[in-house]
Amino acid sequence: MDPYRNQLTDPTVERLLKVSQRLQALDREIPAQLISCFLYIASHETCHKQALEDDLCLTTASASRNTDWLSKTHRLNKPGLDLIIKEVDPTNKRRVQLRLSPKGKRLIQSIKDDLYGK
């Protein structure tokens, strides 16, 4: 076997690879847009869906699709990933608030551990 074939040359990038593999464990073909939505919600805890749409340049339909997938119930009543909680904003019933579920918080902590060590 070629000794250079699997030689680690950048441990920082290897940590990013570990994060990618952790996310792919949720869904083998997880889209980058879904990952972006999850990380946005994790970094803007209890944000409005409209803020996510604006900041990530998503259409309303795309943001709804992605946040449904991240919540308990995906489209057509399929199970979602249960990483976020979507709820009506109590101060404005037309807005949807997004926050991490307990499972989402554990995943973010695992990602931080992968990136920064325990």
| pLDDT, position 1 | 55
In a domain, 79, yes or no: yes
In a domain, 5, yes or no: no
Structural domain that includes position 85: 11-116
* Vertex 66 angle, CA 63 and 72, to 5°: 125
Q: Which residues of 34-59 are buried (b: 16+ CB within 10 A; e: fewer)?
A: bbebbebbbeeeebebebbbeeeebe
In a domain, 2, yes or no: no
Handedness of CA 115, 19, 50, 56 (dihedral sign): positive
CATH number of the domain residue 70 falls in: 1.10.10.10
pLDDT tens-digit readout, 21-71: 999 999 899 999 999 999 999 999 999 999 999 999 999 999 999 999 999
Query: Looking at the 3D structure of the chain, how many domains does it have?
Result: 1
| pLDDT, position 4 | 65
Tell me the C-alpha distance between 25 and 20, whole Å: 9
| pLDDT, position 9 | 84
pLDDT tens-digit readout, 72-81: 998 888 899 9
